[in-house]
Amino acid sequence: MTDAGAASDEQTLRRRRLPWFTELLVAVVGVALVQAFLVKPFGVPSQSMENTLRIGDRILVNRLDHDIDRLDLVVFGHGDTWQERELPPADNPFVRVARWVGGLTGIGPSSTAYTVKRTIGLPGDRVACCTSDGKVTVDGRPLDEPYVHEDIPFTAGTLDCSSTPRSSRCFPEIRVPEENLLVLGDHRSESADSVIGCRGATDGQECARFVPLERVVGPVVMRFWPIGSAGGLPH
């Protein structure tokens, strides 16, 4: 091929290439679609799921999986409280724009706060604590929970659900409403979870807070950062 022919082909390729800002827009839209419909990354901001997840871990959530099983780790959205759907509007216009971009692309802040916890109670389950040896029960059956880290103090016969004072590990039987989940943190003594308002109580369904299924982004499928700890997360 002559130099003139090569130059002509190069000019044709240049004309066919999209402008840089169009390529950037296509990339952003691609990332947004992946995060909206397939998988979405999240960072772990607190110690409530130690030692399963640590502060700074990065995890992937499967947005295609809507079948939540007991003991699944799930990410769900909320506002300043679990009862609110979104965070209150920001006064700063730059923050509002950043949240809008974050909500669209999944990159940066958004109008929704996200929390990761472990599913303990499914719709209709009856969850309580504790057995004589301090275990959580679901429909009267004790759970085996090897993942629990630094549980709340409980000593049979001394500091339990019958003693005075009562162990704050204890909470009354709670029936999970339909279309909701009851979730707990693995670091039980440092977790503001579904039963944070019920610990030490002797009765009352009203003390619990639940996660509406419609607010669940999906189950956690893997940790991808740090690299040395990347992989699936066992129950």
Query: For position 34, what pLDDT does the model report?
Result: 47
Q: Is residue 56 part of a domain?
A: yes
Tokens of 69: 């099983």
Tokens of 67: 């079948």
Q: Which domain range does residue 175 map to?
A: 38-228
Q: Is residue 14 part of a domain?
A: no
Do residues 179 and 214 make contact, with C-beta atoms less than 8 angstroms apart? Answer: yes
Number of compact structural domains in the chain: 1
Q: Which amino acid is at 147?
A: Y
Q: Which pLDDT tens digits describe the chain residue by residue (235 residues)?
A: 445 445 455 555 455 565 644 544 444 444 454 455 446 888 899 999 999 999 999 999 998 868 999 999 999 999 999 999 888 888 888 777 776 666 665 666 778 899 999 999 999 999 999 999 999 999 999 999 999 999 999 999 999 999 999 999 999 999 999 999 999 999 999 999 999 999 998 877 789 999 999 999 999 999 988 998 888 887 6
Q: Is residue 145 part of a domain?
A: yes
Q: Is residue 134 part of a domain?
A: yes
DSSP string covering 89-108: PPSSHHHHHHHHHHHHHSSS
Do residues 166 and 201 make contact, with C-beta atoms less than 8 angstroms apart? Answer: no
Q: CATH code at 162?
A: 2.10.109.10
Peptide bond into 93 cis (omega under 30): no
Q: Is residue 13 part of a domain?
A: no
Q: How far apart are CA 219 and CA 208, in angstroms?
A: 22
